[in-house]
Chain A
Amino acid sequence: MDRDTEKNMVENAREDPEAFGLIFEAYYQKILSYCIYRTMNVEIARDITSETFFKALKNLWQFKWAGAPFSSWLYRIASNEINMYFRHHKYEPKSMEEAIEENNMPELASKNDLEAEIMRAQERLDENGDAAKVLRALRELPEKYQEVIILRFYQEMKIEEIAATLDVKEGTIKSILSRGLKMLREKIAAQPFSGAGILHT
């Protein structure tokens, strides 16, 4: 999405609730995949994604354009939530539950469908051989390396976008990336699984 389109969408969302739905549609999958790759847990990723959008909705009026794309702001909210999850080893999303209560929305009969969908995605993630093993090895790195590697390789962001998202200089991102990849190779090499072969590709 080009910057002008994104800007229009965000400005519209400040005035018109329908436009926040468009923001959600535009970024939901990106934020969800980022959370999945970071946590390797689809249910937690779903909850963090939900919290991210509720927080974005609540704080949209505080968002200011400072050169970075709007998506950077969403990624930053998601990153903070993910870090909180890693620190506490649990995650309790509050915003969605509160919204359900506030709006007196009854529980869905299709809740089982929602859970089944999560289980299927988790199975796909777990069955993904080498790719999943690399992600697991990645999780053993310090958080700042995980974050940069995932944004670069799984979210396909440019160095300058990662820098804007994390509010860090481009040179620092390059350095984190280089060190992170080296550490990742070492982790993988130390693991007795077939994914070790990817070291030499």
Chain B
Amino acid sequence: MEDKMKKIEGLELPKNREYMKSILMAKAAKKSAKPVFGWKIIPVFVSVLAVAAVGLYMKIDYNDSNTQRNALGGIWCTYDDHAQGGNSTVWPPASTSCENLFVKSSPGYGNTGYAIRITGNAGTKPGENYIGVDTFLSERSSCPHCNGIDIRAFHGIEFKIKGTVPAGKVMFIIPHEGKASDKKFGTCVSLTDYADYEADITKDITADWKTVRLDFKKDLRQPSWAKKENLVSIDEVLSDANLIKWQYSDGQGHPVDIWIDDLQLY
């Protein structure tokens, strides 16, 4: 009889295993903050987290419907440089006190559904010449709550983009923000003086939809002008992320038109 007690093949659960491992490692990271085992090197640990999440993804917004909130419950907003004295213009209009003025455009990628679209120009004032669009990663990430989420279990972000950018730069940015809201700008307070992790995606924006896949660790960097006291590890930023944003800057008032769709963390 013993030889009939054979192992049954195909009982592996690779996706469940990776998901479980990512949660387990996140728990371990929390423990390391309180050094239960004397653990103290969170960045080393987080590389395991990223590996753990292979094959998993999390939808941010596929824009299948014309809702104001993304799949995580966060809102979409545009912003401009008026609070800094700039003269940029952006559509949909920028919110000034945490209200939601955003509207989606259609069609989205594949000529279906909707997309995130912004148009406008970054103005001409030297030093203050930007516009952008952002989306929050939970219902309570936006001001005045400023409660971020932990996205260390993911390698990076993927989205579709197209548009017209005749000059200037478009950056993808993950801001590092605190829990307090900055009433002057209607945002959560920046912990880096806006020297946030970013990637230049200008060349990816063409007339046709293109997939942009950014690895948080390989593709994002803080700008060279970041002051020493504002340098922070990417893991710390990802452990409590409020929002992600796409920012266009240019000093010559060129009009831009940018479309974004099918956003997910991978």
Q: If A32-B13, A103-B26, A110-B57 touch, does A17 touch B45 (CB 8 Å cutoff)? A: yes
The reply to whether A154 and B7 contact each other, CB–CB distance below 8 Å, is yes
Residue of A nearest to B60 (CB): A109
Total contacts A-B at CB 8 Å: 161
How long is the Cα–Cα vector from A131 to B11 in the complex, in angstroms?
13
The reply to whether A53 and B20 contact each other, CB–CB distance below 8 Å, is yes
The reply to whether A117 and B7 contact each other, CB–CB distance below 8 Å, is no
Flag whether A161 is at the interface (Cβ < 8 A). no
The reply to whether B11 and A13 contact each other, CB–CB distance below 8 Å, is no
The reply to whether A50 and B58 contact each other, CB–CB distance below 8 Å, is no
Q: Which residues of A in the span 26-80 have a Cβ within 8 Å of any Cβ on B?
A: 28-29, 32-33, 36, 42, 46, 49-50, 53-54, 57, 60-61
Flag whether A125 is at the interface (Cβ < 8 A). yes
Q: Which residues of A in the span 71-102 have a Cβ within 8 Å of any Cβ on B?
A: 95-96, 99-100, 102
Residue of B nearest to A53 (CB): B24
Flag whether A174 is at the interface (Cβ < 8 A). no
Q: Which residues of B contact A184 (CB under 8 A)?
A: 1
Flag whether B110 is at the interface (Cβ < 8 A). no
The reply to whether A15 and B23 contact each other, CB–CB distance below 8 Å, is no
Q: Mark B2-19, 1 if CB is under 8 A from A, else 0.
A: 111111111111111101
Q: Which residues of B contact A24 (CB under 8 A)?
A: 21, 24
Q: Which residues of A contact B25 (CB under 8 A)?
A: 17, 20-21
Q: Mark B188-200, 1 if CB is under 8 A from A, else 0.
A: 0000000000000
Give the size range of A's interface with the partner: 35 or more
Flag whether A1 is at the interface (Cβ < 8 A). no
Q: Mark B159-175, 1 if CB is under 8 A from A, else 0.
A: 00000000000000000
Q: Which residues of A contact B149 (CB under 8 A)?
A: 104-106
How long is the Cα–Cα vector from A84 to B25 in the complex, in angstroms?
26
CB distance from A155 to the nearest CB of B (A): 9
The reply to whether A16 and B264 contact each other, CB–CB distance below 8 Å, is no
CB distance from B46 to the nearest CB of A (A): 9
How long is the Cα–Cα vector from A110 to B59 in the complex, in angstroms?
8
The reply to whether A61 and B7 contact each other, CB–CB distance below 8 Å, is no
Flag whether A4 is at the interface (Cβ < 8 A). no
How long is the Cα–Cα vector from A61 to B28 in the complex, in angstroms?
13
- Which of B1, B6, B39 is within 8 Å of A199, CB to CB? B1
Give the size range of B's interface with the partner: 35 or more
CB distance from A120 to the nearest CB of B (A): 8
Q: Which residues of A contact B5 (CB under 8 A)?
A: 131, 134, 149, 153-154
Q: Mark B21-56, 1 if CB is under 8 A from A, else 0.
A: 101111111111000111101001101100110001
Residue of A nearest to B41 (CB): A16
The reply to whether B8 and A46 contact each other, CB–CB distance below 8 Å, is no
Flag whether B260 is at the interface (Cβ < 8 A). no
CB distance from A184 to the nearest CB of B (A): 7
Q: Which residues of A contact B21 (CB under 8 A)?
A: 21, 24-25, 28
- Which of A54, A131, A153 is within 8 Å of B27, CB to CB? A54
Flag whether A136 is at the interface (Cβ < 8 A). no
The reply to whether A103 and B27 contact each other, CB–CB distance below 8 Å, is yes
Q: If A109-B71, A121-B12 touch, does A130 touch B4 (CB 8 Å cutoff)? A: yes
How long is the Cα–Cα vector from A105 to B59 in the complex, in angstroms?
13
- Which of B2, B11, B23 is within 8 Å of A121, CB to CB? B11
Q: Which residues of A contact B150 (CB under 8 A)?
A: 103-105
CB distance from B140 to the nearest CB of A (A): 9
Flag whether A8 is at the interface (Cβ < 8 A). no
Q: Which residues of B contact A3 (CB under 8 A)?
A: none
- List 7 A-B pairs, Cβ < 8 Å: A14-B38, A21-B21, A102-B27, A103-B29, A105-B153, A110-B56, A185-B1
